[in-house]
Structure 1
């Protein structure tokens, strides 16, 4: 349960470790592609300036080549860190990888994510994952090349495994960055707005039933017996679609307004009643007249 600063308790589902790993892999692939595209663009614009600067490293580097080298470094840094920071500070609180798998970052206190929290959790990602991996592969390749690296390769592997196992030792699957930043990663399932009831069934055909062809029209006195609360209750029942509940409500409304339309066409009757009651209540609101419930 996530309790907001206003004291509202909201149920949330903690994102699985597998979905977080999948999101990280997707983000990593997107980053690699973006960095390579930027470097390719710089190489195309630069011509042979960067290669000449590398070949003549001991000589004076031209101003243009020096500028392009600095631009390349800045672009790589901005993409690597800006990718996570900008997207997780946005309204969705999720990177592209997280959106694809349906998860997002949230503050454990229920408040708004702060820049400090996002910066902290993303800087820790380098310490948890990328630095030990780089350290491990550099020492591994150096050892393959014949250099004596001692126990550095095992130190890098232990470093990586400790942080890799961290989410498995707490019930909320938090990594070290989440603990420090006060965040967790939760499910963000995609939802669609339900279709308006007034645009389907008998409500959309001016009260005419598609089953019997009967047309249901209600007068002012018949619609005046119910208010907004009853309208909302009726809408929920129509969306749930439980036949027994619809039949019971149909009988109660008919008894209340003095109708006897018979059985077998309950849903069309209720859809027509819903649409006309809603139109009446909305019309009253435009003139400042409200009917909260049937007792008003």
Structure 2
């Protein structure tokens, strides 16, 4: 088997069906474990750099205060705790749903139910990371200095880490414990852009459809790409289902207009509105992205 065949089979194996509220199968591709590991290494390198700067600054700030080393150590540990957890939490709650490491690898965190990524889910997956990796690492490093059974404690901590780190290898969706609890997974996230009209080569704009700004603002770039996929596929049942859902959502009376014609007209109109928004420095990521 050639390397190309192997990569194609691996990509096909990583495909997952994700049905949107409009009834469209997005066919997402899961991020590979190698991509996720590389992203984590990048994030840890960033955190290490910030930690060094923070430690030096804290050392200078507290050197002349006369405080005991224990107090300084507590402040340092608390600072590191909030740094690493705040970093992942804020980055994954951003519009891209990804830390700097994940952005570099073009992957992101997504909700497995196809909905919007919510704060409780992001909080849960990152809280579990603390229990999976960071806490046992701290215990493993510190235990030998405590004497007694420190060696056994370190060994048990390493085993603990190994169990959780190996978990993605033993489930088909490559989920770690945090993903299982939070209902998330990590998927490939190619750069999004507003596509050029695939119908320009064969179909003219329909001018007998008129949409209000409110009706066009019901969706964003993500939904526009879903519409494009529906139009490219041309499946009659899917076109009808999506047309009905959109018309109902925006309160549009289609009359006797064909489903495909309505979708094409709405696609043209929403694309033009989004592109004009880009020219004005505004970008609507999806239907939940308001006030931008």
Q: Which residue of 2 aligns with 1:43?
A: 59
Q: Which residue of 2 aligns with 1:85?
A: 89
1:1-296 equivalences in 2 (<5 Å): 1-44=17-60, 46=61, 48-50=63-65, 52-54=66-68, 75-139=79-143, 141-142=144-145, 147-149=148-150, 151-190=152-191, 227-228=204-205
TM superposition score normalised by structure 2? 0.57
> Shift in Å at residue 165 of structure 1?
1.1
Distance across 1 between alignment mates of 2:196 and 2:57: 46
Q: Any unmatched runs of 5+ in structure 1?
A: 58-65, 198-224, 230-235, 237-280, 286-296
Distance across 2 between alignment mates of 1:113 and 1:193: 22
CA distance 1:155–1:228, change in 2 (3 Å): same
TM superposition score normalised by structure 1? 0.56
Q: Which residue of 2 aligns with 1:209?
A: none
Q: Which residue of 1 aligns with 2:278?
A: none
> Shift in Å at residue 150 of structure 1?
6.0
Distance across 2 between alignment mates of 1:78 and 1:155: 26
Distance across 1 between alignment mates of 2:30 and 2:166: 17
CA distance 1:113–1:39, change in 2 (3 Å): same
Q: Any unmatched runs of 5+ in structure 2?
A: 1-16, 207-227, 229-267, 273-292
Q: Which protein is bigger by CA-based radius of gyration?
A: 1
Report SS of the residue matched to 1:163: helix
Distance across 2 between alignment mates of 1:101 and 1:150: 37
Distance across 2 between alignment mates of 1:135 and 1:69: 15
> Shift in Å at residue 96 of structure 1?
0.5
Of 104-113 and 17-26, the range deviating more from structure 2: 17-26
Report SS of the residue matched to 1:105: strand
CA distance 1:40–1:14, change in 2 (3 Å): same
Q: How far does the alpha carbon of each residue in 1:131-183 deviate from its partner, in whole angstroms, 9 at most, with x for none?
A: 222222333x448xx74436323322221111011001111100010000000
